[in-house]
Amino acid sequence: MPSFLKDLSLRRRSKASIKTAETRETSNSSGDTSSNDNASDEPPTNNKSSSTLNSYLDKQSPPTTLGSQKSRSSGHLPGLRNGSKTPPVNGRPRMPSAQSQSQRYSLAGMPSQNSSDSVPRQSPATSALAPRVLSVSDGSWVHQKVLLIYGEAADKARPIDGSLNVVHHQDAFPQTQWPVSDSVFKALVYLNPGPNRLRLDFTSPKLSSPNGQMQVHSSWININFLPLISSPPLQLCILVAKDSPETYDATPERIQKEGNGLNTAIRKFRMAAYLWQAFTAEQMNRNGFGRRCYRYEEEWQPGTLTYRDLEVGQMRNEAKIHVIRLSQTVKEIQDLDLAQQYEPAKKKGDLFGIAKDAVRAYFAPRPGQPQYVSCMFLDTHWDKKAGTVRGHAALGGGDDTIKLAIFGSHCLQSYPSHIEEVVPALTDCTRTDTNYVANDCNEGGSNWESANIGIGAHLHETGHLFGCPHQESGVMLRDYVRLNRTFLSREPYSTRTKQQGLRQLTPKDECAWHRLDTLRFRFHPCFQLPTDTAMSPDPSVQVWSVEDGSVLVTAATGIAWIELFPEGDDLCHHWIEYLDPNSGPAGAPRQITLTEQSLRQNLPQDKRKKKLKVKIFSCGGSDHEVEDFAQLTSKVSKTKLPDGRPGFRSSKLGFSQMEGSQPTEVILGSHHRPPRLLKNIRVYHGNSLDGLEFIYEGDYSELFGKRGGKQGGDDFPLDTRKGELVMGFYLRAGFWIDGIQILTSTGRRSEVYGNATGGSGHTLIPPRGYSIAGVYGTSGPWLDGFGLIITR
């Protein structure tokens, strides 16, 4: 045999042997920190964390950690058959192969695209008593820095209490300890970008061991963290009065232990924001949307997510807290809010307006680039004499450039500052001392309940910022009084209910986002992922009345869901979803047919005869409201064309509420007898659309609206030799019609006449099988209503 073949054979054998060895090995292991240092910000003592954390850690016995390979493999573990020894575990975790990585990162396999993430894979473990993560499968991809996990340890049939120690990937984050109650645990896990191999150690004094030492039962899980940078962030801001002492309300004991200054406020607000994110990502996953979530703007700064970072000065990439100095004084801010809540106040004002102006000046948003901002007023103050919280308002909303949520700092003292303080803060039953701090809405009678109200109610307003209305249940209906249950395995005594908390917390007992909230999040710009397929730039929804009492609904991005509001219902209790859970927007229909009977069948019997309002949502994040669905199928929506054919009016854009607004309508010449050939469309416009003049062969013309704006208007001639026809219009519309673009059968588009950036975009093209017969609407000083008349 030639020598080069021998070499090749040897290499093949070597490769095979290496692969075999690897197989055996695998099978055996299985904010803006201000430079202003306030004297009250840091405690005068040497304590590194709050009193809540100290009292909690004093009760916990540290587990025996697996610091070396020797300690992991020595001795016998309970639960292993035949007294076998602990399986050897690699000191360094092996990275997944390129092939497996590519499969996990593929479009179909991303957890954001399906709900298979909720099905756990088998993780390597040292014994049958080792922790088992149930909420996320091994090798999953997530998109937030702090991940909530939950699972079981030991035998659920024989529940015991103990402790779970989370050892982070390459010790990049200090170990954290979490309670195990009746064999159930919940933990917050800090992740670094890329692959994270985590070790979970379970210990319990109730488990016997041969040598009398506390035995450690370990398992491993791999989580891949892919940070998001392609979607707009949620900005976090603290608003400070121009003469602020930069402190917030706190009891003397809290001030003594942890301070109450700006730097402490930043740490607490940042930790609360990561709790929002972990909660929301888990809720999205439970609703079948993967761990899709919004992101924060981060900066390289001294870490605060663990108190140990403060001791050593560790730098980390963490959420930036913008500190915005207001032009108002503390008194002006507190008197403004007091005027809204307390009759004797002499001045009146609007905290939301103050915050909005400050945020707009700080971020300077550009057209088409809205800023999403959640703010906290630092100078909120509990006025015991007046019995109200001053300098506080809980509001969320905004306009096209600023989406804003505001809240006060009156519950801030009860927030956790670090991950290690989350469980202590949410189980602290210390009664609220109303001599110093507020008992908000009489639902914050203890420290942990106050944390629920503050963190949860601020999340509620942030939900409004993202476009969520009030709902029949969930965060958007004060369900946040149970927010603590998301992060605990056992609940403490509640002063609100005057009852001992639940001993076992199941998902149905926890706080939740309503299903309709998660649907809104799925298509919100802040929740988009790099793997999401590109959609049409036109997110609008159009509604068309047609024959036989039917209504056609079209949307270029797909129709996601419909909400039904029978008369008397302010909240949505009934809805219809059109999403395919496996294909997402790609599987959503672009056109559907509705009838009044089919919609009313989704209502209870006692509401089927009431007036029905319908809201239709597209996958592009837009919606269309029909105030009275019966009107769409009535005679009002139908007309008889001059050539005898029936015509149908589409839904109308614009509010038709300008002074002197009058109806206007034009039927195109092609539907007259004899038919007329359309040669030119003359558009009258200025900063909005004034009118359209349809000019036919023989110099005959018809005017829709008025001849205003630019002198003589602008002409858009049609190429009649090629048979060019008007196929539709693209409109910019809000309260009135801002601008219009003409679309033709040859694919030509005119410029956008009028205000090309006003209002929102809407494409009016008749559904399949129909064509434009005319236009109708209303005209005041300029056009404030526009719709199409279509026919077969």
Residues identified as active-site: 461
Query: CA-to-CA distance for 674 and 669, rounded, in angstroms?
Result: 8
What does DSSP assign to residue 689? Answer: E
CA 584, 590, 593: angle at the middle one, nearest 5? 120
Residues 669 and 680: beta-carbon distance below 8 Å:
no
Distance of CA 750 to the CA centre of its chain: 37
Query: CA-to-CA distance for 462 and 150, rounded, in angstroms?
Result: 25
CA-to-CA dists, residue 628 to 564, 598, 613, angstroms: 11, 15, 5
Q: Which residue has the tokens 């050593």?
A: 312
Q: For residue 702, give both structure tokens.
A: 């018809």
Query: CA-to-CA distance for 444 and 448, rounded, in angstroms?
Result: 8
Q: Which residue has the tokens 């992922």?
A: 529
Residues 296 and 321: beta-carbon distance below 8 Å:
no
Query: CA-to-CA distance for 709 and 737, rounded, in angstroms?
Result: 13
Residues 728 and 743: beta-carbon distance below 8 Å:
yes
Say if strands 646-649 and 623-626 run parallel, antiparallel, or are unpaired.
unpaired
The per-residue DSSP string of 744-775 comes to ETTS-B---EE-TTSSEEEEE-PPTT-EEEEE
Query: CA-to-CA distance for 75 and 767, rounded, in angstroms?
Result: 74
**Is the link from the previous residue into 674 a cis peptide, with omega within 30 of 0?**
yes
Q: How far apart are the first and last CA of the chain?
A: 81
Q: With left for phi above 0 and alpha for psi between -120 and 50, is residue 290 left, alpha or beta?
A: left
CB atoms within 10 A of CB 94: 12
Nearest to 172 by CA among 321, 315, 319: 315
